Structure 1
Amino acid sequence: MLLNAQYGAFLRLSNVMLVLAVMLVTALSFVLPAQAAQPIRLLAFGDSLTAGYNLPPDAAFPVQLEKALRAKGLNVTVINAGVSGDTTAAALSRLDWALADKPTHALVELGANDMLRGLSPEQARGNLDAILARLKQAGIPVLLTGMQAAPNLGADYGRRFNTIYPDLAAKHGLPLYPFFLDGVAADAKLNLGDGMHPNREGVAVIVQRILPQILRFLGA
């Protein structure tokens, strides 16, 4: 009788332990792979600085950024939606096409071509405003990157252009990386012969500098 009672107690304990083990495995199945189960698709929406003008494919900003993010353990695909020569107006006209790639997040890098062509800062502001509103409507979180006007365009133009990015970031409640070319602009060693587009090393500097903010933006 004593042996039977001990055996019964053993079976009951075993069943309890089995139930607890199943509960633990079930809980971990929801917690541990949650990040891996939902990959991030980051839309890099921009102009030649994003597209990788005159660079080998593996040297472009989206490729170097994706490599850096994956090295941090993030399951991220960076979609190269950069088109060389794009103004803010041209980018706005193709935004719905870019959204067909089903991004979960977006990085917006635009305005340099408007500035280089001396186009109206007010028009650039309006186009960027519309782009950000459309992304918000689609439920896509955005990191906005800024551009700075060349000094030769004059103080008035510079003031009207440079305020576009902080103003829109505040209006839409977005994180802002103030200057996409920070640490690279005007450095001949980090640019192609035209002095405007970063070379491979220049892109690497951009990625290194912007990476901490992108990690925060992605919640990593």
Structure 2
Amino acid sequence: MSARRALLASLLVPLAACGGGSPTGPGPSPSPGTQSVTVVVFYDENGNGTLDPAEGARVPDVEVSLGGRSARSAVGTGRAVIDGVAAGSVIPTINTATLPPFYTVGRMPTVQVPTTGEVAIPLVLPIGSNRPNTYMAFGDSITEGNNYPGDPSYRGPLASKLQQHFARATVLNEGVGSTKSNQGALRIDGPLNADRPAYTLILYGTNDWGQSECKRPDQLATTCFTIASLRDIILSAKGSSSLPVLATIPAVNVGYDFRAPQQREDWVEAVNVQVRDLAREQGALLADVEKAMLADRDPSRLFVDHIHPNAEGEEIISTAFFQAIAHGARTGAAFTGEVMDLDAPMARPVPQVLSRPSLRSRRR
């Protein structure tokens, strides 16, 4: 080696030792002792803290943290990959603001990092011995369906949305055509006892306007039975440990015929102010169906007649229910009360109803 080359080599050695080199080279290596941990956020139906083979429901969009690192669970699978978790023993934590309404954290496991398997993160619901992942749609002909050929009502698209989001969902039909809310209050206990639903979806009141007691907005404070009946239905659901989801009364196809005058829509608007208040009062989720329908560029296109929605209208109704169930207060559209312990004993106030005619005398 020439003297000149030897001198150049001796100058380069200290530069390399001080970290010199190409700026496009590989970045720093991961910190030793860290790894990626996969978690699965699931609905723990029996509350034992273990992901059992039959427990197929998953809870998406929940933020899970391990050792100061966090990630959100995915739709359908409930999986989240948390990178850069330091080695050691750690208990996962949940950002409770990201939980869907009514869900709480179950028996959290202790995780030993590094780990080779997925970590199951349990969430629970206060539904007592009711049937998990079961939603009872309770209402009149809008719930029942069959208002046009092949009509699944809003239940069809809602079931699809819930299944895609939570991986498990069954929506039951407890709609009875032509019934009014006070008739719903009289019959609610039968379906609750037979179906034992985790959730009760309440869409009632459309037919109330046809009664003399409920023709005008000012009657809401005197003779009209709508709010008292809806309150009674909610109390029955809560008394059966079923989670209540209350919908506003759908909008009316104003001007379609003599059955849909502007006065009817005015009544719907007035009663829905009280429906929203009732949801807050009772800690129920609110599916604001009326608001969603009126937000359409042309609400008249959402109907097959004066009150019954077509497929587009049912899609809007199903979305309102889905948003309430899956996101609640995070969308600003639904859950506004405290999450209640529905298994605790509760006093049931006397409904404020002036009179409650029998089913036979009220049927048209």
Alignment partner, residue 16 of structure 1: none
Q: Whole-Å Cα distance in 2 between the matches of residues 148 and 70 of structure 1?
A: 24
- What SS is found at the alignment partner of 1:72? helix
Q: Whole-Å Cα distance in 1 between the matches of residues 274 and 141 of structure 2?
A: 20
Q: Whole-Å Cα distance in 2 between the matches of residues 154 and 54 of structure 1?
A: 21
Q: Whole-Å Cα distance in 2 between the matches of residues 188 and 198 of structure 1?
A: 9
- What SS is found at the alignment partner of 1:54? coil
| Contact 1:177 1:213 survives alignment (8 Å) | yes
Of Structure 1 and Structure 2, the greater helix share is in 1
**Aligned positions of 1:21-40 closer than 5 A:** 30-31=50-51, 35-36=55-56, 39-40=132-133
Q: Tell me if 1:111 matches 2:111.
A: no
State the AA in 2 paired with 1:163: V
Alignment partner, residue 143 of structure 1: 245
Over the residues paired in the alignment, what is the CA RMSD in angstroms?
2.9
Change (3 A) 1:154 1:86: closer
Q: Whole-Å Cα distance in 2 between the matches of residues 51 and 154 of structure 1?
A: 22
- What SS is found at the alignment partner of 2:167? coil
Gaps of 5+ in 1: 1-28
- What SS is found at the alignment partner of 1:104? strand
Q: Whole-Å Cα distance in 2 between the matches of residues 68 and 154 of structure 1?
A: 29
Q: Whole-Å Cα distance in 2 between the matches of residues 125 and 116 of structure 1?
A: 15
- What SS is found at the alignment partner of 1:42? strand
- What SS is found at the alignment partner of 2:309? coil
User: 1:188 offset after TM fit, Å?
Assistant: 3.5
**What TM-score do you get using the length of structure 1 for normalisation?**
0.72
Q: Whole-Å Cα distance in 1 between the matches of residues 169 and 307 of structure 2?
A: 29
Matched-pair identity in %: 27
Of Structure 1 and Structure 2, the greater strand share is in 2
Q: Whole-Å Cα distance in 1 between the matches of residues 291 and 178 of structure 2?
A: 17
Larger relative contact order (Cα-Cα within 8 Å, sequence gap ≥ 6): 1
Q: Deviations over 1:30-78 (max 9, x none)?
A: 1375742774110111111111142345632112211221122431110
Alignment partner, residue 20 of structure 1: none
**Aligned positions of 1:70-89 closer than 5 A:** 70-89=163-182
User: 1:212 offset after TM fit, Å?
Assistant: 2.3
State the AA in 1 paired with 2:153: A
Q: Whole-Å Cα distance in 2 between the matches of residues 31 and 43 of structure 1?
A: 26
Change (3 A) 1:93 1:204: same
Gaps of 5+ in 2: 1-48, 58-130, 215-219, 253-261, 329-364
From 283, 298, 301, the equivalent of 1:189 is 301
User: 1:165 offset after TM fit, Å?
Assistant: 0.7
**What TM-score do you get using the length of structure 2 for normalisation?**
0.45
How many residues of Structure 1 are paired with residues of Structure 2 in the alignment?
187
Change (3 A) 1:119 1:74: farther
| Contact 1:43 1:81 survives alignment (8 Å) | yes
Q: Tell me if 1:128 matches 2:230.
A: yes
| Contact 2:251 2:290 survives alignment (8 Å) | no
